[in-house]
Amino acid sequence: MGYKIEKATEIADNIFEFWINAPHITKNARAGQFVVIRINDSGERIPLTISETDGSLVRIVFMAVGKTTTYLSTLKSGDEIRDIAGPLGHPSEMGNFGNCVVIGGGVGIACLPILARELKAAGNNVTGIIGARNESLLLLKDELATHCDELVVCTDDGSYGFHGFPADILKKKLSDGEKIDCVWIIGPGIMMKITSMATIPYKVKTYVSLNPIMVDGTGMCGSCRVTIGGETKFACVDGPEFDAHLVDWDELMSRQRTYTAQEKESLKLFQDHQCSCGGDHHD
């Protein structure tokens, strides 16, 4: 038995949105949680954050960068994946905090709609700040705008919205005296590190969703270990959200690069195999 992909769309440059029929996920899914998927019996397990749910459908959004995500991007509506496990991890801290800011960078933007929706439902004023390298990599901005009281869009090259980074917007809001009670940041490691530093002088509670290398998603393999406030934690069972001001960012980013060479080799072998098979690789 597999899980049917009801809708598969490329929503930005090399970024894909899948709606998968998985009622066992959507029954209990909350903002901040993730799933682990496996395309077929011989495939590797990869973690993907829950972007949104709709009835029995769960949305995942991913960029095709390695072998498995590249393979996944070749699947179409009506195809099936072998496994989808979850929801995993702790949900986002939720409550009526007051003025909340949710910040997304790159594919991390996809994690914000369900978070912004839940924060709004809890009675918060929600500001969204999203950023990407250029306009072609922006995603879900119209949908996110429906869940936010304010949405600010940035691009590194100035091709759309504010010319700069989400950290610049957050710094300005804080320096202008805007009252901010809680911040969530989701994106590349370096982006989360730099952006979270902006809230330190103001002592604003800041959460980040960490994305270390992960294998089983149950805390048994130890590959997703991170250091939080000097203590070892496992992102899959203790997170994936943590206090941004306690994260050992240098260790996190160093560990993320552990298998870079092997990942490149695996992707090349997959692409070579696709070419030799005429691009059809569904076994």
State the average pLDDT over residues 224-251. Answer: 91
Predicted local confidence at residue 213, as pLDDT: 73
**In this structure, are 80 and 25 located in the same domain?**
yes
Q: Are residues 60 and 107 in the same domain?
A: no
**148 among annotated binding-site residues:** no
| Domains of the chain: total | 2
Same domain, 49 and 112: no
Q: Tell me, yes or no, whether 106 lies in a domain.
A: yes
CATH of the domain at 15: 2.40.30.10
The residue-averaged pLDDT of 256-263 equals 58
117 and 29, same structural domain? no
Neighbour count for residue 220 (Cβ, 10 Å): 11
Tell me the sheet residues that pair with 9: 17
- Would you say residue 231 lies in a domain? no
Give exposure, 228-260, as e/b (b: 16+ Cβ within 10 Å): beeeebbbbebbbbbebbebbbeebeebeeeee
CATH no. for residue 132? 3.40.50.80
Annotated ligand binding at 224? The verdict is yes
Range of the domain at 159: 99-209
The residue with greater pLDDT, 263 or 232, is 232
Is the pLDDT score of 66 beyond 70?
yes
Q: Is the pLDDT of residue 283 over 50?
A: no
Calculate helix-pair angle for 189-197, 166-175, nearest 10 degrees: 10
- pLDDT mean over 98-125: 96
